Amino acid sequence: MMNIRFSRKQLCIPYALFLICFVVLPLAVIVYYAFTDGSGRFTLENLLSFFSNGNTIGTLCYSLVIAAVVTAVCLLVAYPVAYVLARSGLKRGPVILMLFILPMWINFTLRVTALKEILTVLEGNLSLHPFLNTVIAMTYDYLPFMILPLYTTLLQLDESLLEAASDLGAGPAAVFFRVTLPLSMPGIVSGITMTFLPAMTNYVILDMIYNSTYIMGSLIGSYFNIYDWNNGSMISLILFAVICIVTLITGRGDRNNAENRGAIL
């Protein structure tokens, strides 16, 4: 009888198959659908119509603007929080950090519902300020994802570098902008990837606060609702391309993401 030797490498096989079937293959299928028409013939129609249609291009630009504003607001709000938590020698820093991370575990639809109720009391009619409300709701949702990576980077900052800078005559502002800020770039980058991409696609938040404007994710949703797989696939593919570009630009951000999401637990 042949003795099949158990090898640790073989353990890779089930997961590799799983990834091929449910990660690689779905991508291949949307590529196929994106470049074919309803009857399965090759066409560039979907691609061309995306770029020639004012609405879809407008949606892409609007999503980029929303995502950029949300990311910037999150960063401006979160950086001081992370800085104080990590650098001001709070005795119970980690515990207070927990306070800022904890809302993340409440289902986001329930959190947005809560925010919506408050905004309704404050504003009356939510549809009057669609842009403002979107930014508030998304900031509310993504803030923990920005605070956490900033906190972990700032915590590891080498104190002696800051001391050296001020010994060498830098004022507090110079120390911050020329030492602290550049050294916290990894955290900033990973925080940005964790808020920018979801902000471009999470159209449910818009739906829930009665915002009738469209972002990229909404396009997929609307094609899905009318069973237009071809155009839906094209939008998905374009979004995936944008995501790949952002991920490549920000480099190792993606790995930090996962570790940060993991490190919370």
Partner 1 sequence: MKKIISYSWLAIVALFMYVPVLILAFYSFTDSTTIGTVREFSLRNYVTLFTTEELRDMIVGTLLLAIGAALIASVLGTVGAIGAFYSRQGVRAAVETANQVPVVNADVVTAFSICILLIVVFGIEKNTFIPLVIGHVVLCAPFVYLAVMPRLRQMDSGLYEAALDLGATPFQALYKIVIPQIIPGIISGFMLSVTLSLDDYFISTYTKPATFDTISTYVVNATRGAQTEIKTALWALSTVIFLVVILVVVLMNVASSGPAKRQEVNAYDSREKD
Q: How far is the CB of 169 from partner 1 (least distance, A)?
A: 21
By CB under 8 A, tell whether 76 contacts partner 1: no
Among 35, 50, 108, 214, binds partner 1 (CB under 8 A): 108
Interface stretch with partner 1, choices 36-44, 54-62, 108-116, 157-165 (CB under 8 A):
108-116
Q: Which of residues 40-69 bind partner 1 (CB under 8 A)?
A: none
Please count the residues of this chain forming the interface with partner 1, following the rule CB under 8 A. 91
By CB under 8 A, tell whether 130 contacts partner 1: no
Nearer to partner 1, 15 or 42 (CB): 15
* Alpha-carbon span 79 to 97, nearest angstrom: 13
By CB under 8 A, tell whether 116 contacts partner 1: yes
Neighbour tally for 207: CB within 10 Å: 14
Among 195, 200, 206, 214, binds partner 1 (CB under 8 A): 200
By CB under 8 A, tell whether 100 contacts partner 1: yes
Q: Distance between alpha carbon 131 and the CA centroid of its chain, in Å? A: 18
Contacts of 82 (CB under 8 A, 6+ apart): 147, 150, 151, 154, 187
| One-letter amino acid of 33 | Y
Among 46, 201, 211, 231, binds partner 1 (CB under 8 A): 201
| One-letter amino acid of 120 | T
By CB under 8 A, tell whether 203 contacts partner 1: yes
Q: Are the C-beta atoms of residues 69 and 135 closer than 8 Å to each other?
A: yes
Q: Are the C-beta atoms of residues 67 and 200 closer than 8 Å to each other?
A: yes
Task: Give the residues across from 64 on adjacent strands.
Answer: none
Q: How far is the CB of 10 from partner 1 (least distance, A)?
A: 7
By CB under 8 A, tell whether 173 contacts partner 1: no
Nearer to partner 1, 59 or 193 (CB): 193
By CB under 8 A, tell whether 176 contacts partner 1: no
Nearer to partner 1, 111 or 129 (CB): 111
8-state DSSP, 44: S
Strands (E), the chain: none
Task: Tokens for 47, please give them.
Answer: 């691609």
Interface stretch with partner 1, choices 35-43, 46-54, 95-103, 160-168 (CB under 8 A):
95-103
Among 49, 53, 55, 109, binds partner 1 (CB under 8 A): 109
Its sign, for the CA torsion 130, 131, 136, 138, is positive
Contacts of 141 (CB under 8 A, 6+ apart): 108, 111, 112, 202, 205
By CB under 8 A, tell whether 177 contacts partner 1: no
By CB under 8 A, tell whether 84 contacts partner 1: yes
